[in-house]
Structure 1
């Protein structure tokens, strides 16, 4: 089965190719200026058909050799549609709608921003058609010469004008430390003492958000449906799949202007998160300064319909459950040492070691009381959290 993938990373050799593709395709070209610039305002915002509080991000980005973007505070932010929705600053540069709302079909939405005496306004946008994620599949594959698990997506037949898609995902995985220990060592009144472990350190969870832009375009296909789109590939040697893995995928139906914008952004920065990137050049989106149309404004105001779906799989679904599972720390790095009481005290103060074994029952042998190993070999919270997510299903 052929995997359709639009997952790309920043590579300058693809830049001219991407522009050429935009010119010859049915997607409208977004003008790009390659000359440098001193600074520009960055506006990043999407409203969807989800009933929730929506978010707009504002910052200023500087030349590529600067220290990066800075949050833009003190703005008056509103989205105008069938009603006027006000946003308030929740943290520097982050504006959240005061009330929950959902974008409705057939309504023109416009983003308005007043800051530092300047007014910024987006082009109007309507909610595009809808399309639900029909199926997520996980399969063991050989992908570009690497063994691992590929997660692919197929969506259901769309309604309305749904030809362009953008995807995000959040992965969460369960993992264990190299060693299970139920005992801790402490120093009390100058003496080593064994105590029961006070927190969970063997089983943990880690959550990561997608960083790549993932796009799909069905405009040239006979059916408005995406089939076997590669969303994520996890290498067999990564601890992510060592126990249980979950992926939550969010599908955005976007218009062709937004699709074109994200294609170019993908080539320029390798990430759709323009709020955290230093841009190597300038390209415009669908927002302008009403007072000064010549001002450079980076960003795009989106109105999207959204569909989500989650998948789980276990290590033993694809690999030998009795085999050696990938870990964050190699067993060879878990060296057992036998420190003096003075060294042990310092190691414990720095939270650098965990109890491994007691050669002679305490309180005897206080000069060298216990064997220890590096903390990372016992304490899984070095790499994640021991709090089980509310959504998690075992």
Structure 2
């Protein structure tokens, strides 16, 4: 059933995209080993036929997460398996968990020297080297938090603005990486805490883990102190009280089991916590791949994009349930803490405006425009929020089954058509 859905989705793209095959995109600038080319919207059967004379290809892919059953890992592994299937088995992608071949900060070197061919890379872990990317993620604090539309829009805005900003793409290309997806948020950022935080006084002195440069400004505004505890050490740190809270995506909170020891979730409403996204990148072997292999990796991106939307939305749903099961709750920040966060975000946007890495004023405006655009598209496609966070489980209309993403697929297809398709190699 999954392959039929993908084929149907891609068939509609062929009609929409005939005029795009001559457009220049990031993918068009990459070298390749040549060979046959397919039009956008090619079917699985057409791809298998095109690969008949292609020599077998073996690639190593370090996916996001430590557990193959985690939200981000399932997204990455399904994409890899779909590439293998649509190549008729000519492409083999060996999947490895985060850190198995290269630590998060070693990924660029591993992609260049050939230890890795594909990876989920956390660019915000290296803010000096990925300064334009970090500025873009900071600017996303303009996106109001919400459990559905904002979760959909965050991926769309980062992809749209990321591909359209030369400085962001240069951050990757200057280090030998080719971009398949410039910024994957894995869900918007929440605060999870050992104890409930219902007032500014209760945040005072808290040790709070963050994973983005902007989190220091936000944590200080709440009255806490930023700490940089490694992901693998977080559960014990929360359990022992060495760490009081963590800023991370809901998917991360579920994947690593931290809600068992930190079951109190706080979300902003009009304000938002800065994201710490990963990205989907290829290494030096990209240039040796046949053109049809490069095209296939782009053409199955609707699978990846909808998998990311599932991560973002369903992890909110599951986080709410898990928090309740462990004696906690999912609630909005109190009004005073929300105001403090909003003031911190104004400082962050000012930092972006004054940045020497990008045209900061243009970046802030482009992100604002993209937020408006993708929010409108979500509403146009029929997505609506008929409740709020505390009762999200009661009004969400989608499935919590990873294999059933029919509810989320229309937005994923629209994002692919408008943002990813123009980057397709040709």
- Structure with bigger helix share is 2
- Structure with bigger strand share is 1
TM-score, structure 2 normalization? 0.27
TM-score, structure 1 normalization? 0.29
Larger Rg: 1
